[in-house]
Chain A
Amino acid sequence: MKRINLIFIMMTMLLISINITKAQEITNLKLSGELFTDQRLLLQEQNDWAWNENRLTLNLDKKITGNSRFYSEIWLRNMGLPNISSSADLYNKSIVDPYNLEVREAYVQLLGFLTDNLDIKVGRQRITWGTGDKLNPTDNLNPYDLEDVLDFGRHRGSDAISFDYYFNSEFSLQGAYIPFFQPATMPVGIFANALNPTLELPQGMTLNGFTDQTKMPEYNLSESTTTGLKFKGFAAGFDFSLSYVWGIDGMPVATYNTFSPADTLGAININSQLSFYRTHIFGADLAGSIGGIGVWAEAAAFLPESKVVMTNDLSAMYPMSPVPVTQDTTVLDKEAYVKFVLGADYNFANGTYLNIQYLHGFINERGTDNLNDYFFVQLERNFFDDKLKIAPLAGGFIVSDWNDVGNNYALIYIPEASYMATDNAEIILSAAIFDGKGENVFANLGEYNMMMFKLKYSF
């Protein structure tokens, strides 16, 4: 009874204190957000639905004191289409009406912490690095959110502690410590296999079944930690930064494949063990303006901490062999490879905006010999008092082998028209057309040409 009373008193006090706090501070709390719908239809016959996303974003921003602030971004989403296979599924709301709740960011920021020049952030946060436009080889602290491969630069927030130390108005040092490793989230829906490498089987074998296990790093200081440091400055008219990350690549690699026969005709089953590997990342970027043209460059050198080897265990294929039959293949040498982006943009006097970027090495590419070249362009112009924006030329050209471009290329064409129906409501109509041959992310999306309709309402 005493225990119940104590709990009751504590609950009452908590409620009172919450209400007092509310009364005192409600005026400081800013609630804003966005209602967003993203609908995509394939251009093929029957026009299958390719994407259904309905997202409510809630942003809470509260200045707690003059020197501290709370911020959060939460997504409540209806994502995907109902996938009902039995009557039992009809009793499950999460199958009939798939939705999820995602805390994108939730942190407290302390400004002028201990010293006037130091700001710290504690909690789930997005730490954006790099000067490129959505293509940022140096942006490696947060895990990639690759759910939508057409939204290249999206990352999730990480539970982290970070600081910014300002030496003066032009030079600063940023650091971040992320105690727990979080892997990248992979593409979903029709893009699910977009980033999966093609499986090459020995001659005469056909794949019957594939399973895998993913080995996560141990959750301790030495295995799961990611840290990063960045020095930022401004000199000779350019913003620049130098950075270093001791991290873990967020996309796993197959390190041990066990082959077993499924029948006597050459069909096999493969069980693959996927692992994550540690890497050092040295980054540099700059941004500025030359002759009225905005320019930026960003490069990251990735140095795996050790050689990454994939072992194919064929022992089950050769039961008479007295020793295990294995083949080792080097996936990644312990040597640096560099991804980089060069970009420029220009605003013409008539209101036309042009943005061009060259990227060497996409998100999922690793190793000097496996980095492809990507050329992206965006030409847009505003009409009707900037209410209508049309981008007739938008997309990219990808080359995966310069010696045989005709068989190793991809074209992406994403024209777009967006209209600000009101101050807060934007309607976007666009298409995505893919064409290509060979081994690259976009070459094999040809059957997924689509129309896209998006609506954003900010509040």
Chain B
Amino acid sequence: MRKLEIQTIMSALFIFAGLLSANAQDANTILKNVDNVLFSAKDMSGNNKMILIDKSGNEEIREATTQQKGIDKRMFRFTSPSSQAGIAVLSLPEDVMYLYLPAFGKERRIASSAKNQNFAGTDFSYDDMESKPYSEKYTPKLLNTEGNVYVLELIPLSLKSDYSKIIMKVHKTNFYPELLEYYNKANNKVKVAKYTFNKIGNYWNPSEIEMTDLKKNHKTKMIMNDVKYDTGLADEEFTVRKLKQ
């Protein structure tokens, strides 16, 4: 009788473990699909218009150019306003990020403590601007499905992250993220990012990202224009040499 009990418990454990595994597998697959949607193009270039909106509704506009290659190379350069023009950020593999400030005439590595800071007054952090697949930064867990979206919980792999978790809502059919909710270490929701996608050629393009800082009641709308995919950007476009040009 005791043997039967043990067998039953073991079977239940195996089934539970299998379910967990299946769940994790699903979550991983979903997140990988998200990365595939976001990083499937060989390269991308375009113009960003960022509208900073404070709690009183006052707006400030910033413009930038962006280039991306593969999954881990990105160059971002402000073109306006004049006080910001020329400031550029280069994101490279292995968490390497450089900041170029024209006033100093030299590049500077961004320390990981700075990656949680707001990027040039926007509601995006340096970390948010980094080009790196979600599956390499987070461990996903499928929480549930709601209507047309999967709801994933992403736990940062790095202890240095300012976030304790991110809740990501992923479109079931097209696998692009529709909504991201960022939680701080005290498990309070601190930021929300809403994504709007349109299709350009074969690729889903995040045409607008609205990032809201819930504590400051401040938001940044990032609107992508003139987006071009697979134009054959060379690796040389993502070097410190280019950053300084």
Contacts and interface: CB of A to CB of B under 8 A. Distances in A.
Contacts of A293: 111, 113
A111 B236 CA distance: 13
Contacts of A119: 241
B239 A169 contact: yes
Given A292-B111, A293-B111, A169 B235 contact: yes
B115 to A, nearest CB: 8
A385 B82 contact: no
Contacts of B245: 69, 111
Interface string B80-91: 011111000000
A111 B244 CA distance: 12
Interface string A382-416: 00011000000000000000000000000000000
Contacts, number: 77
A351 B109 contact: no
A82 interface: no
Interface size class of A (residues with CB under 8 A): 35 or more
Given A128-B105, A169-B239, A347 B83 contact: no
Interface string A253-291: 000000000000000000000000000000000011100
Nearest to A125: B105
A42 B54 CA distance: 38
Contacts of A289: 109, 111-113
Interface stretch (B28-36, B116-124, B169-177): B116-124
B228 interface: no
A260 B62 CA distance: 67
Given A294-B114, A458-B81, A386 B109 contact: no
A295 B110 CA distance: 10
A147 interface: no
Contact of A385 (B105, B114, B162, B216): B216
Contacts of A424: 81-83
Given A289-B112, A293-B113, A32 B82 contact: yes
Given A349-B116, A423-B60, A287 B108 contact: yes
Interface in A146-185: 164, 166, 169, 172
* Interface of A (DSSP majority class): strand
Nearest to B106: A128
Interface in A1-50: 32-34
Interface in A400-459: 420, 423-424, 426, 456, 458-459
A120 B118 CA distance: 35
B83 to A, nearest CB: 4
B243 to A, nearest CB: 11
B82 A459 contact: yes
B116 A347 contact: yes
Contacts of A111: 245
Contacts of A33: 82
A303 to B, nearest CB: 26
B149 to A, nearest CB: 30
12 contacts: A33-B82, A126-B105, A239-B109, A289-B113, A292-B111, A292-B112, A347-B111, A347-B113, A348-B113, A351-B117, A351-B118, A458-B83
Report the 3 A-B pairs with minimum CB-CB distance, sorted nearest first: A294-B111, A458-B82, A292-B113
Interface of A: 32-34, 69, 111, 119, 126, 128, 164, 166, 169, 172, 239, 287-289, 292-295, 345-349, 351, 385-386, 420, 423-424, 426, 456, 458-459
Given A33-B82, A458-B83, 18 more contacts: A34-B82, A126-B105, A164-B241, A169-B236, A289-B109, A289-B111, A292-B160, A293-B111, A293-B113, A294-B109, A295-B111, A346-B113, A349-B116, A423-B60, A423-B62, A424-B82, A426-B83, A458-B81
